[in-house]
C-alpha cells in the first residue's frame, strides 16, 4: 500500500495531458487487484489528465471476467465514479490473427460476419446486464494492410462494418496498424473511408512493436487525414517473434498536430506499476 500511495503522488506530480484517452486491456490476472487499488488507480489516472478509458474487450474467448457482477464490471463502475468516460470493448476471439492467416475470400467474409455476430451478442448483454453508462463501443478486431490489402476484402469489410454500426446506440471505435503492404496514401484513403461510415478510427503508431522502421511509420502517419486518430504505444516489445508477448514501459511519442491521440496501454503507465502486472 505504501508503494502504491507513492505512485499516486508521482502521478499527481507528473504533467497531465498525455493520457486524456487511455486504452486498458483487461487480463484475467487483474482479478487480483483490490477494489481500493482500482479506486486509487482511477483517481491517479484522472489526476494525469485522463478523461476517456477505452476498454479493449469485455469478453475474450470463454472469459467474460466475471460478467455483470465480476471484477471488470465493478472496476469500471469505480472508473465511472471517478469521472472517467468509458468506451467499452466487445468480444475478442483469441484465435483471431491465426484465423486471418488461414482464411481468404468468402471464408474470411464468413468469419468476420460470425465475429461481428458475437460482438453484437456481447453488446446486447452489456446493455441489458452490465448496465454501465458508456460513451462508445470498441471493436477489438484490429485491421491491418496485410490481411486487408486486397480491395475486395476492404469492400466486403466496409459493408459489414456499415451494417454492424447501424445496430449500435453509441459511436463505434476501431483500430488498425500498418504492415507496409499498402502505400501510405492508399492506407490513409482506406481508413478515411471507414471514418466516413461514422466510425471513430484509430491508427496504431507501431513505436512499441517496431515492426516497421521509424521513417516508414512516420510516412504512414503523415499521410493520415485529421479525422483518423493515432494510438501512441507506451511500451517497448522485448519478446522475439514467435515468443509469448513481453514488453517494458516506454514514453509514448506524442506528436500533437491535428490528430486525436490515445495511449496504449494503462498497464505501462507509471502510476499503474506495481498494481497491474505487465506480462
C-alpha to C-alpha distance for 95 and 67, rounded to whole angstroms: 21
Q: Structurally, how many domains does the chain consist of?
A: 1
Question: In this predicted structure, what is the pLDDT of residue 53?
Answer: 98
Could you tell me if residue 279 is inside a domain? no
Query: Cis (ω within 30 of 0) for the bond into 265?
Result: yes
Type and span of the H or E element at 173: strand 172-177
Could you tell me if residue 277 is inside a domain? no
Q: Show the CA angle centred on residue 176, arms to residues 221 and 95, nearest 5°.
A: 150
Could you tell me if residue 82 is inside a domain? yes
Instruction: Tell me if 21 sits within 8 A of 261, measured CB to CB.
Output: yes
Question: In this predicted structure, what is the pLDDT of residue 229?
Answer: 97
Q: Which three cell numbers stand for residue 176?
A: 488498425
Question: In this predicted structure, what is the pLDDT of residue 9?
Answer: 45
Could you tell me if residue 278 is inside a domain? no
| 43-82 CB burial, b ≥16 within 10 A, e <16 | bbbbbbbbebbbbbbbbbeebbbeeeeebbbebbbbbeeb
Judging by DSSP bridges, how do beta strands 247-249 and 235-237 pair with one another?
antiparallel
CATH (domain of 174):
3.20.20
**Angle between the 2-13 and 35-47 helix axes, to the nearest 10 degrees?**
20
Instruction: Tell me if 214 sits within 8 A of 246, measured CB to CB.
Output: no
Question: In this predicted structure, what is the pLDDT of residue 18?
Answer: 57
Type and span of the H or E element at 47: helix 35-47
C-alpha to C-alpha distance for 143 and 231, rounded to whole angstroms: 14
Q: Each residue of 11-52: pLDDT tens digit?
A: 443 443 457 999 999 999 999 999 999 999 999 999 999 999
From the list 250, 243, 244, the residue with the least C-alpha distance to 265 is: 250
Could you tell me if residue 151 is inside a domain? yes
For residue 174, give its domain range: 2-272
Instruction: Tell me if 180 sits within 8 A of 216, measured CB to CB.
Output: yes
Question: In this predicted structure, what is the pLDDT of residue 241?
Answer: 81
Residues in the chain: 279
Q: Which three cell numbers stand for residue 161?
A: 462494418
pLDDT lower than 50: segments of the chain: 1-17
Could you tell me if residue 233 is inside a domain? yes
Amino acid at each position: 500500500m505504501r508503494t502504491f500511495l507513492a505512485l499516486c503522488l508521482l502521478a499527481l506530480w507528473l504533467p497531465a495531458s498525455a493520457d486524456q484517452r487511455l486504452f486498458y486491456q483487461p487480463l484475467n490476472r487483474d482479478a487480483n487487484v483490490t477494489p481500493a487499488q482500482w479506486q486509487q488507480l482511477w483517481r491517479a489516472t484522472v489526476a494525469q489528465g485522463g478523461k476517456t478509458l477505452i476498454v479493449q474487450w469485455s469478453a475474450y474467448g470463454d472469459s467474460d471476467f466475471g460478467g455483470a457482477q465480476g471484477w471488470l464490471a465493478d472496476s469500471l463502475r469505480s472508473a465511472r465514479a471517478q469521472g472517467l468516460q468509458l468506451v467499452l470493448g466487445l468480444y475478442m476471439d483469441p484465435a483471431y490473427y491465426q484465423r486471418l492467416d488461414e482464411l481468404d475470400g468468402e471464408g474470411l467474409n464468413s468469419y468476420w460476419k460470425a465475429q461481428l455476430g458475437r460482438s453484437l451478442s456481447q453488446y446486447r448483454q452489456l446493455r441489458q446486464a452490465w448496465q454501465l453508462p458508456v460513451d462508445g463501443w470498441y471493436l477489438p478486431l484490429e485491421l491491418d494492410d496485410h490481411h486487408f490489402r486486397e480491395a475486395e476484402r476492404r469492400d466486403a469489410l466496409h459493408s459489414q462494418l456499415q451494417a454492424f454500426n447501424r445496430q449500435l446506440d453509441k459511436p463505434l471505435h476501431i483500430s488498425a496498424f500498418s504492415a507496409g503492404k499498402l502505400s501510405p496514401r492508399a492506407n490513409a484513403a482506406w481508413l478515411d473511408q471507414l471514418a466516413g461510415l461514422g466510425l471513430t478510427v484509430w491508427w496504431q503508431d507501431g513505436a512499441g512493436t517496431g515492426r516497421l522502421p521509424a521513417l516508414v511509420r512516420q510516412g504512414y502517419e503523415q499521410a493520415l487525414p485529421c479525422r483518423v486518430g493515432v494510438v501512441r504505444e507506451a511500451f517497448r516489445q522485448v519478446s522475439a517473434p514467435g515468443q509469448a508477448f513481453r514488453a517494458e514501459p516506454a514514453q509514448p511519442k506524442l506528436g500533437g498536430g491535428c490528430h486525436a491521440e490515445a495511449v496504449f496501454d494503462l498497464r505501462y503507465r507509471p502510476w499503474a506499476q506495481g498494481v497491474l502486472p505487465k506480462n
